[in-house]
Amino acid sequence: MSRRRRIGVMGGTFDPIHHGHLVAASEVQAQFGLEQVVFVPTGQPWQKSHEVVSPAEDRYLMTVIATASNPRFLVSRVDIDRGGPTYTVDTLSDLREQYPDTDLYFITGADALEQIVSWHRVVELFDMAHFIGVTRPGYSLDGAHLPKGAVSLVEIPAMAISSTGCRDRVRAGLPVWYLVPDGIVQYITKRGLYREGSDSPAVEWGPRSSDA
Ligand SMILES: Nc1ncnc2c1ncn2[C@@H]1O[C@H](COP(=O)(O)OP(=O)(O)OP(=O)(O)O)[C@@H](O)[C@H]1O
Ligand SMILES: O=C(O)c1ccc[n+]([C@@H]2O[C@H](COP(=O)([O-])O)[C@@H](O)[C@H]2O)c1
């Protein structure tokens, strides 16, 4: 009897994508024998509504550039094309339709996992995918209230990199070489992303009038 397909799902705002994301996806791919890992840039990350987030198309293109050299990595537009606030319950139902007879492995860092109880329709999530929590410097999972057995925890090489840190460095005129792939440095420079007073058309996600 043939084994069911196993596909990883790496969701993120990716503003910008950095080597912490790529190492997490690569480690989980190898440890769980995943056929592919699908990177899914968020449309509107509703829990970051107080933050300025770069346009989805910039985040999507950066994700495509950063993953292009790995034949096991793919990028999906489902969260961007659906529109509205991004909920993982919708991401997983779209991907389940796209990948029938497949086990999905949703990858999250320790920080995101700590917050998972606040996610939309969280109870349904654990029936839709296996959740894999990866270690992240500065975060611990000790206090996270997760359903017993719902999440597998995986130790990955420690990458003390965050998108916030990368944005702050660009704003301060510091290099982000080697924190992000080379193509992402070039993309950020070309588009003038994250620079104070730059013309880059960052957007703020306020609640839509229909959500009020
Ligand atoms: N250095 C890292 N090590 C392990 N997991 C990470 C790391 N950076 C991000 N992740 C995980 O990747 C997913 C997407 O993260 P996201 O795009 O929000 O990046 P971020 O660096 O956390 O961004 P920001 O600093 O803007 O909050 C989340 O599950 C997050 O926990
Ligand atoms: O479903 C939710 O309510 C929800 C709330 C916060 C984050 N998420 C998902 O978690 C992933 C990482 O998100 P972020 O904001 O840390 O980049 C991404 O796939 C998000 O869509 C999902």
94 contacts: CB under 8 Å, gap ≥ 6: 78, 82
Per-residue confidence at 202, pLDDT binned at 50, 70, 90? low
Q: Is the CB–ligand 1 distance for residue 70 below 6 Å?
A: no
- Taking alpha carbons only, the member of 63, 37, 51, 41 closest to residue 204 is 51
Strands (E), the chain: 5-12, 36-41, 52-53, 73-75, 102-109, 130-134, 151-154, 203-204
- Taking alpha carbons only, the member of 138, 96, 99, 105 closest to residue 28 is 105
pLDDT per position as a tens digit, 83-110: 999 999 999 999 999 999 999 999 999 9
pLDDT per position as a tens digit, 31-67: 999 999 999 999 999 999 999 999 999 999 999 999 9
Q: Which residue, by CA, sits nearest to atom 22 of ligand 1?
A: 162
Ligand 2 pocket test: which of 49, 119, 162 has the largest number of ligand atoms within 8 Å of its C-beta? 119
pLDDT per position as a tens digit, 100-152: 999 999 999 999 998 999 999 999 999 999 999 999 999 987 767 787 788 99
Q: Is the CB–ligand 1 distance for residue 91 below 6 Å?
A: no
Predicted pLDDT of residue 16: 98
Q: Which residue, by CA, sits nearest to atom 13 of ligand 1?
A: 12
Asked whether this complex has an ipTM greater than 0.85, the answer is yes
Q: Which ligand is nearest to the CA of 134?
A: 1
Q: Is the CB–ligand 2 distance for residue 47 below 6 Å?
A: yes
Beta bridge partners of 39: 10, 75
